Structure 1
Amino acid sequence: MRESRFDELIHAPVRLRICGLLRPVDRLDFAVLRDTLGVSDATLSKHVKTLNSVGYVASSKAASLERLDARRVTWLSLTPEGRSAFDAHVRALQEIAGPTE
């Protein structure tokens, strides 16, 4: 079985939800993530910066084909390290919760 590891950095509620939303996708638009979480730009930016500082989340900017203006979209994704840390954290939570049946 793969290693489980409780991760204090991921466990903060907003950061846990960020990782959970990014886990099944290649990348997600900052605005979509913000709206899904129901947080402000500043709140999401703060949590993304924390996750980025340890190498769990990567961000990139790119032009959007849907936009008529020159603004660029910020895309967020879990790094391989972030995916591994999130998966290990989920396993640790499952161990804490115990069997569900």
Structure 2
Amino acid sequence: MRDDEPALDRLIHEPARLAILTVLSSVESADFVFLQRTTGLTKGNLSSHLSKLEDGGLVAIEKTFVRRKPNTSVALTAEGRERTARHWDQLDLMRARAQAPADDRP
């Protein structure tokens, strides 16, 4: 990879985590069940990816009780929102470079 090529964020780029972050970038917060339904991930897989995203500072997880039932709410942190947006910008840049005529490519 050259120095001027866009770098992809490995924590974000993994498909399941990118799906989670994409969903979260369009809402203020989401509960665990909503994320599971929208991403199609199993409970264990979603939980594992959320832990990695939380450890990386990209999401905040809040566990509460609603009518005596546990409820897990997830939201992007400011850093998570910024890094997710930057990741999509990097993908757009890669696509634009690939679509440029060969003579215009760096």
TM-score (norm 1): 0.85
Indicate the residue corresponding to 1:91 in structure 2.
89
User: Residues of 2 paired with 1:55 and 1:15: CA distance?
Assistant: 13
Structure 2, unmatched stretches of 5+, are 1-5, 100-106
2:39 and 2:21 map into 1 onto residues whose CA distance is 11
Residues 5-24 of structure 1 correspond to what in structure 2 (within 5 A)? 6-24=8-26
Greater helix share, 1 or 2? 2
Q: How many residues align?
A: 93
Higher RCO structure (Cα 8 Å, ≥6 apart): 1
Q: Whose radius of gyration is greater, 1 or 2?
A: 2
Unpaired segments of 5 or more residues in structure 1? none
**How far is the alpha carbon of 1:49 from its aligned partner?**
0.5
Q: What RMSD, in angstroms, separates the aligned Cα atoms of the two structures?
A: 1.6
User: Which aligned runs of 4 or more in structure 1 are off by greater than 6 angstroms?
Assistant: none
